[in-house]
Amino acid sequence: ETVMTQSPATLSVSPGERATLSCRASQSVSNNVAWYQQKPGQAPRLLIYGASTRATGIPARFSGSGSGTEFTLTISSLQSEDFAVYCCQHHNNWPWTFGQGTKVEIK
Amino acid sequence: EVQLLESGGGLVQPGESLRLSCAASGFTFSSYAMGWVRQAPGEGLEWTSIISGSGDNTYYADSVKGRFTISRDNSKNTLYLQMNSLRVEDTAIYYCAKRLAAAGAVDYWGQGTLVTVSS
């Protein structure tokens, strides 16, 4: 099973600033990584799949990059609605697994 | 508009069974793989199982293999999860999930149904 490890666990950022979140796979997953946003009491929301493809309706301030074992989600200019938990998931081979999440909080 | 509506959650004792249902609408149900993702209280997300559009292929996480069975009725646009021999550690919100056609990511989620296993 491929383990997905996210860092940092918590990221404190001021509105308007850039946020960079990392996700590392325990073995290569090619570019088969998705990123989700989750707010309290809500289901996750797909942001990125295939490491860098934005899902339908996702603003351009969200971007993803990486391949192999190292992946990054960047939020270029944080808006108030972006403060949430973000998690990565590989979709390379079963079982697909999620990272434990990074909480982006207001600084 | 895509909608996924789960039902069937509740409180059960260890060793008991429960069947979850997910009624889908707004898309051609039989064309998409579907799955169940769970989230224990305060924890991360975990794929439990996934089934192909035709229902011919199923995959399970090791944590539920042999106890859970995923199935679908394409004539009723409904996904199921039969959960047997439930354990305390199965306590979680269970989300019905529609797989994105282009990749193994979830593009639509249900609102979730809470399963609590406790004596």
Torsion angle of the four alpha carbons B12, B108, A101, A92, in this order, in degrees rounded to the nearest 10: 100
| Under 8 Å between Cβ of B23 and B78 | yes
User: pLDDT at position B41, please?
Assistant: 93
- Chain B residues near residue A50 by CB distance under 8 angstroms: 102-103
| Minimal C-alpha gap between B102 and chain A (Å) | 9
Average pLDDT over chain B, rounded to an integer: 97
Average pLDDT over chain A, rounded to an integer: 96
Q: pLDDT of A31-74, one tens digit each?
A: 999 999 999 999 999 999 999 999 999 999 999 999 999 999 99
Structure tokens at B117: 């296993």
User: pLDDT at position A71, please?
Assistant: 98
User: pLDDT at position A103, please?
Assistant: 97
Proportion of chain B in helix, strand, coil states, percent, rounded to 5:
5, 50, 45
User: pLDDT at position B102, please?
Assistant: 82
User: pLDDT at position A23, please?
Assistant: 98
CB within 8 Å: B47 and A98: yes
- For residue B29, which amino acid is it? F
| Under 8 Å between Cβ of A84 and A35 | no
Q: Minimal Cα distance from A6: which residue of B?
A: B44
| Minimal C-alpha gap between A63 and chain B (Å) | 16
CB within 8 Å: B107 and A32: no
The pLDDT of B15-20, averaged and rounded, is 98
